[in-house]
């Protein structure tokens, strides 16, 4: 664990990325850097009309994430652990899911210009949950711009995430099934996940805990 100075939490909408990033920061004495999707001025419109606003939404996210990643690159990662709630390269998951052929071609040209300047994480924690669980969590937190999200979109997104991380090899990967744990409200669930994270080594590891209940 000592070599993991830059840790990324990833997973589909509603899986608990931001919550876990916040919960892991104190025990790891980490700097927590969070994405702010609500700053994207196109996001509300995207969920109402995905086809019409997909490109603007995706390009804003790409450039905003790039700027944040540039700031992370300038941080002394040897001085303090850094935890973020997104992986820069996952941006392409949403691009391939939402953009048409011409938009995707332009997006890929921009992405290629930016990607080489991005720091590679020392560890990625990929959180999984069933689409029905994701939708239930989204409904509970009741963020206005997420109210238009439907189960079919979450199924497609889940499949895209699983496919992406099945082939992911850029850094050590811990895959966590979150369906039966509550690392926000249950200290035991959080401590078990911390223990699993600290024991990580190279390669891909799978953690499917027999936990307490679904995360709200």
Q: Any idea what DSSP says for residue 126?
A: E
Whether residue 104 is predicted with pLDDT greater than 50 in this model: the reply is yes
Mean pLDDT of 126-142: 93
The model carries a pTM of 0.89
Sequence-distant (≥ 6) Cβ neighbours of residue 18 within 8 angstroms: 9, 34, 35, 85
The pLDDT > 70 percentage for the chain reads 94
Whether 100 is catalytic is no
Q: State the architecture of 6-207 in CATH terms.
A: 3-Layer(aba) Sandwich (3.40)
pLDDT of residue 112: 92
For residues 166 and 204, give the distance between their C-alpha atoms in angstroms, rounded to a whole number.
Answer: 9
Mean pLDDT of 130-153: 91
Catalytic residue among 49, 76, 85, 182: 85
Between 79 and 28, whose confidence is greater? 28
């Amino acid at each position: 664990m000592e070599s993991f100075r830059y840790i990324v939490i990833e997973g589909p909408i509603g899986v608990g990325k931001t919550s876990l990033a916040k919960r892991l920061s104190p025990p790891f004495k980490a700097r927590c850097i969070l994405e702010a999707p609500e700053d994207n001025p196109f996001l509300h419109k995207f969920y109402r009309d995905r086809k019409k606003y997909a490109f603007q939404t995706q390009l804003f996210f790409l450039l905003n994430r790039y700027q944040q990643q540039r700031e992370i690159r300038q941080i002394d990662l040897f001085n303090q652990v850094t935890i973020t709630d997104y992986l820069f390269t996952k941006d392409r998951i949403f691009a391939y899911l939402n953009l048409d052929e011409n938009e995707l071609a332009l997006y890929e040209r921009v992405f290629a210009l930016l990607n080489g300047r991005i720091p590679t994480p020392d560890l990625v924690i990929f959180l999984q949950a069933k689409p029905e669980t994701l939708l239930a969590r989204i409904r509970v937190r009741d963020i206005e711009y997420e109210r238009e999200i439907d189960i079919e979109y979450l199924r497609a997104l889940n499949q895209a995430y699983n496919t992406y991380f099945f082939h992911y090899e850029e850094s050590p990967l811990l895959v966590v099934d979150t369906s039966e744990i509550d690392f926000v409200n249950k200290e035991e669930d959080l401590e078990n996940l911390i223990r699993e994270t600290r024991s990580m080594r190279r390669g891909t590891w799978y953690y499917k805990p027999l936990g307490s209940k679904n995360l709200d």
